[in-house]
Amino acid sequence: MSSTSEQFVAHWIDGAAVIPADSRTADVFDPATGEVARQVLLADSATVDSAVAAAKAAFPAWRDTSLAKRQSVLFRFRELMEAKKGELAEIITSEHGKVLSDAMGEITRGQEVIEFACGLAHHLKGEYSEQVSTDVDVYSLRQPLGVVSIISPFNFPAMVPAWFFPIAIAAGNTVVLKPSEKDPSSANWMAELWKEAGLPDGVFNVVHGDKVAVDTILTHPDIASVSFVGSTPIAKYVYETGTAHGKRVQALGGAKNHMLVLPDADLDLVADSAINAGFGSAGERCMAISVVVAVEPVADPLVEKIVERMKTLRTGDGRRGCDMGPLVTKVHRDKVASYIDIAAADGATVVVDGRDVVPDGEPNGFWLGPTLIDKVPTTSRVYTDEIFGPVLSVVRVASYEEGLELINSGAYGNGTAIFTNDGGAARRFQNEVEVGMVGINVPIPVPVATFSFGGWKDSLFGDTKAYGVDGVRFFTRQKAITSRWLDPSHGGINLGFPQNV
Ligand code: NAD
């Protein structure tokens, strides 16, 4: 039985679709038509309990499965994903709205982490010191945590879960994933792919839901860790509640990413980059550029170049080869659009108003075209809030120092970029900026899977980033063994504290 039908998106527990009687549900929309496509089930505590119980039961056997066998399942998962990713891209586009090529890009970046986890044996190696004391050796092991949970946002329904589950599973943990209720079907597609790849039932489970499911996860005695990605207020709540219940928590939050443009930069490259990073995925990326900080005198010529390019963008149904799709829901679309009125009221200049867009799509889709707002006061909510839509602000500053001060004074510290041809200025920026991921002439500096992803300040609660070596550390705990194989001639009683001799 497929876990996503015409009507329902079911939970996936112990290797099978589960549809409890009398479940609460929520609408899942096709954002390009505005129609309700299906209903997603919203788990109550008992359903979460059954997913955790399945993961707990599967843990001992999976932990004890040899690393070689675990990795062979990952390799098969990677190959199946490669062969079938077109199906997944269509699911993403139909529920999130992003254009198909962008959905494929998201899958490719998620696959990077799967490929990293295919080589996890290297990262799980322990250390060994011989003869630290007479006839005593010390070595370390990395062991799985047990049942780990992932709570993910709507904007990357495949990639964000894939930041975590490949490493968690390769390391021997079992997983309960709670995806966003706005675009839930990608998680089920991946769960079914795991089964096809030969992952034992119960190792990867999906429960759909809202705050009820999240709160059950955060307080559940059998869940060892929480990997959360979403908005800052919820990330903070998840971090505080999860850690108060004894869990290891990494909670990645929201963002407001600035691009600093120095006067010597190549303005054509900057304009291209601002368009791609500002309007790709309709601005619904945590690494989207939402503020261009233009060091004068570049603002006027740069705004002109950005506007020229905006005229060429096609907004519409992501299945029709457009550049930019709809927003995820009508509620979100209306909230994002409301910032255009706020901008005007706060004295900013609305250069391009996305509400005037003529989309290539159904009239009831959740459309908002690319929007450009110049001379945004830094006191305006357009500047201070994470808008999370296709609204690009321009703030004009007099110097590098003023731009840096602006970036460093913000609450978030997820991503940033500098555009310049001056290597010394770029090097100074990488040293001085208080942001976790920095691009130098690269507008969306999402680190490759061998590094780790995560911001600073209100963009990350916890001290471990996602994937890479941080991911290995998060999903394992270290054990140190001190060992002595007694020679029969040794012995004797000594109640003193062990000393290294
Ligand atoms: P969200 O915070 O609304 O939801 C994230 C998850 O939390 C979902 O699974 C949702 O069901 C759950 N949730 C929502 N409200 C809750 C509540 N009151 N109590 C408990 N759980 C709750 O975020 P979203 O709108 O799905 O995603 C967009 C946000 O995610 C943006 O702020 C974006 O910047 C952020 N994001 C951050 C990163 C990063 O790496 N830092 C990556 C992607 C997205």
Two tokens, residue 212: 């009820």
CA–CA distances in Å: residue 170 to residues 256, 310, 459: 33, 44, 27
The reported pLDDT for the residue numbered 6 is: 67
Separation of CA 230 and ligand 1 centre (Å): 3
Positions annotated as catalytic residues are 286
Separation of CA 152 and ligand 1 centre (Å): 7
Q: Which residues pair with 316 in a beta bridge?
A: 360
Classify 499 as helix, strand or coil. coil
CATH assignment, 257-440:
3.40.309.10
pLDDT higher than 50, residue 1: no
Nearest atom in ligand 1 to 179's CA: 9
From CA 208, how far away is CA 184, in angstroms rounded?
7
pLDDT higher than 70, residue 2: no
Mean pLDDT (whole number) for 482-501? 80
Q: Indicate the fold that domain 8-253+459-481 takes in CATH.
A: Aldehyde Dehydrogenase; Chain A, domain 1 (3.40.605)
From CA 290, how far away is CA 376, in angstroms rounded?
12
Mean pLDDT of the chain: 97
Mean pLDDT (whole number) for 96-111? 98
Structural domain spans, the chain: 8-253+459-481, 257-440
Domains 8-253+459-481 and 257-440 equal at CATH topology level: no
The reported pLDDT for the residue numbered 493 is: 80
Residue with the smallest CA separation from ligand 1 atom 22 is: 211
pLDDT higher than 90, residue 5: no
Does the model's pTM come out above 0.90?
A: yes
Mutate to test the pocket of ligand 1, among 48, 150, 154, 249 (most ligand atoms within 8 A of CB): 154
Residue with the smallest CA separation from ligand 1 atom 19 is: 211
ipTM higher than 0.95? yes
Question: Could you read off the pLDDT of 266-290 as tens digits, one per residue?
Answer: 999 999 999 999 999 999 999 999 9
Separation of CA 231 and ligand 1 centre (Å): 4
H runs (alpha helix) in 145-258:
159-170, 185-197, 211-219, 232-244
Mean pLDDT (whole number) for 398-424? 98
Residue 403 region by backbone torsions, left for phi larger than 0, else alpha for psi between -120 and 50, else beta: alpha
Sheet holding 24-30: strands in order across? 8-9, 35-42, 24-30
From CA 40, how far away is CA 60, in angstroms rounded?
31
